[in-house]
Structure 1
Amino acid sequence: GAVSLGCYSTAGNTYATSIGYNTTASGSGSLAGGNGASATGLYNVSLGYNAQSAGQTNVAIGAGAVCNASYNGVALGANSDAGSGSSSVAILGTCGPSASVAIGSGATTAASSVAPAVAIGPGASVTSTTGGLAVGSYSAAATACTALGPSAQANGSFSIAIGYGVSFSPSYSVGIGGEPTSDHQLLIGGSNFGECDIRSVFIGNGVTNSAPQSVTHYSTQGSGTDVGGASYTIRPGAGTGTGTGGSFAIQTAPAGTTGSVLNAYSTVLEASGEGGIGMFGVSPVARSSGWSATYSSARKSFDSSTVTLSELAEVVGTMVDYFKSLGPLGA
């Protein structure tokens, strides 16, 4: 049987229930309650002024809520819309494709999207037809992008923006607390309001640990037959105009006296922004062009009891030319 209560209320199918003025429950096992509410599909629920549900096993609760999904859709809150796909959830928001989620006042996923998308937060949006993730008030994600944080916006393609107000357009990039300026770029830290000013980077198992683990950095290795690996370049910051670029230093922390206090670091190699090189704490100096030497053999062995001064000079000359070939002594 069916149950109909209220003026112009209609319960037109088996086990349907319609309660309220001008309500319609025409689908088997459906429930419509509230002025103008309509549940026209199978086992649907529509509760609230002008709430609408079609398809099957869908739920629309709230004034003006709409859930016309193929099945298993949920629309909760005034004017929420779970779209026409399937298994989508809209809470005060509007969903586009199947298996999408829009939670928050004004949250939206692209209506024409063919891939699942998630928008969580007031005004959050996924504008791409290829899906994406936007979490945070007024966050926005474009083509297959991810935006996490209030007002975070990833406006390129396949990019990730993390942090308050982080917003950029380059594609295939990641910005964490900062905004990349070109494609295929990773940036951690920035100087704009709400961004992170990063000054120390630790990779491993904590800043300190009683059992620290070794770390090895790699660039991409080859795969397949006779495929070379990727190069790895370290670049200190470049200056502009007459400004000198940053230096590059390698520091180690030699052992000290017994105790639990961290040992001090000292520089073992430094390359200045002007191209000078210094070792073991000595200030970098420019390459010298004043060295000269002659030698006749790159390899020699001597009897210490008979070696001559000229032979030793030849060895020294060989060493000088060797260091010249490495760079520190110049041409």
Structure 2
Amino acid sequence: MTISRFLTLNTGFKIPTIGFGTYNLKKEALKEALDYALFVGYRHIDTAVVYGNEEEIGQVIDDRQRAGKLNRKDLFITTKVPNTCMKSQAVLESTQHSLHNLRTNYVDLMLIHHPWACTKKEQGVVTFERVDLLETWNALVALSKGGQACSIGVSNFTIQQLERIVSGSGVSPACVQLECHAYLQQRRLKAYCDSKNIVVSAYAPLGSPNRPKHHVQSSENLLNDPVIVEIAQRYRKTPAQILLNFLLRQGFVVLPKSGNQARIKDNFASSNFNITPQDFDEIVTLDRGLRFFRFLYMKGHPEYFEDEDF
């Protein structure tokens, strides 16, 4: 079975199935990693306002364009409206700031980063806000109609929240981004999105072993799982390649992140081989509903549902 290099969104635009994740990459380390990723062949870049690296990404893209090594039309850029900017006017202002930093007139995909509106953290304290998700979504719909975003979507939303914005606006997300990997396979949400013609992007597809301390509630390392390591050895592939191939084979977009050139190159080659149905089924049995990003600091928010899939 050949894995497609692109999936078609319900807006008609094509999204590359292997993206370059940039969470926790900043400054010179980000610029070097991204420049190499573009050299290798990545054309999908995933970022967000809260990653604090849009400006560096814009610089790398601009430098490559000026050198004649890259055309904007060949890139797919995803960014996200933060949960501190979920009122209509704030969505528009955040988008303009992102476009300025990314040095582009439009993004290919704009997402609502989280459904949990809040004010900016001060001394580590989060103050919850009540913002109707439909207000935020309708602001994104206006962005898409105005041409600042080719496609729009959401991240970390439950099925109930998805249904609420669609029923209220009549506009379905083109993409839903969520945590997904062999330990958290998200079958219910993936089946729902498939039934609605919504593409699903998997963040932390390798289990994000280097995630920030405030997200560490489990010491498990997916890349060291004995089943994954054994399968990788049989195919002479890296554990990361096996994990990415497993998701790509199911029709996910994957967003691996690395600052290491060898791993960046290996990750991009994750679709160039086939695993047997038996090995695929063995990986399926690893699903344990283990979420590495639980966002526990949002407990108590009216839109935070710990026991729901998101």
Range into which the TM-score falls when normalised by the shorter chain? under 0.3
How high is the TM-score relative to the length of structure 2?
Answer: 0.17
How high is the TM-score relative to the length of structure 1?
Answer: 0.17
Flag the structure with larger Rg: 1
Higher strand fraction (1 or 2): 1
Which of structures 1 and 2 has the larger relative contact order (alpha carbons within 8 angstroms, sep 6+)?
2
